[in-house]
A and B are shown apart, each in its own frame.
Chain A
């Protein structure tokens, strides 16, 4: 069964350091999403890609966060510099073109900033 892959699964970093997360969506899924989930809350969209183009990055803190999907397949989300408030689960999801109602999530990266 096809799955969304993410790495690393866990990351501990110090405040002000740089950190990067990687995601490989399900093959053939043109749409890729990065979400942030704080404990006890639902996922919140950070950025959405359609192929290699950004569709929505309105909630991405652009002063410190960046995301790319250069060849329209896998994607990288970067934080520089990390802040204490960035501690959360970072989830990647993908879906076919027809809509986000059938999106599939990866296992997530649990980030702890100390």
Chain B
């Protein structure tokens, strides 16, 4: 079983829809939770990171972390065709030396 699980999709939604992207994880030591957006043949772009549990909002994007359920989400409001990309979740444990663990990514397509 992988430490971080992410549904690969693809997820197709109409323009303007609310999108929910999710990851589950098994390592309870993870403290930082990140979301990256990756366009085809480009490097990942950091959207936002969250420390511990709770919500964080940035424009149309909201990240939620539920450590009790080991479940994180990224919501995209008023989705646009330009949001079409692969979304990667990533997690990090700051205790000692630990590397970042990435999910496999969810491919999102927003249809005009």
Interfacial residues, chain A to chain B (CB-CB below 8 A): 4, 6, 40-45, 48, 55-56, 89, 91, 93, 99-108, 110
Contacts and interface: CB of A to CB of B under 8 A. Distances in A.
A107 B100 contact: no
Contact of B8 (A40, A45, A56, A101): A40
Contacts, number: 59
Contacts of B41: 89, 108, 110
Contacts of B104: 40-42
A103 B46 contact: yes
Interface stretch (B11-19, B71-79, B89-97): B89-97
B32 interface: yes
A41 B103 CA distance: 8
Given A41-B104, A42-B88, A45-B99, 12 more contacts: A6-B43, A40-B105, A42-B90, A48-B99, A55-B97, A99-B92, A100-B92, A101-B49, A101-B51, A101-B94, A105-B36, A107-B43
B99 A42 contact: no
B42 interface: yes
Nearest to B105: A42
Interface string B1-31: 0001010100000000000000000000000
Contacts of B42: 107-108
Interface centre among B6, B8, B44, by most chain A C-beta atoms within 10 angstroms, is B44
B108 interface: no
B72 to A, nearest CB: 13
B99 to A, nearest CB: 5
Nearest to B44: A105
Contacts of A6: 43
A104 to B, nearest CB: 6
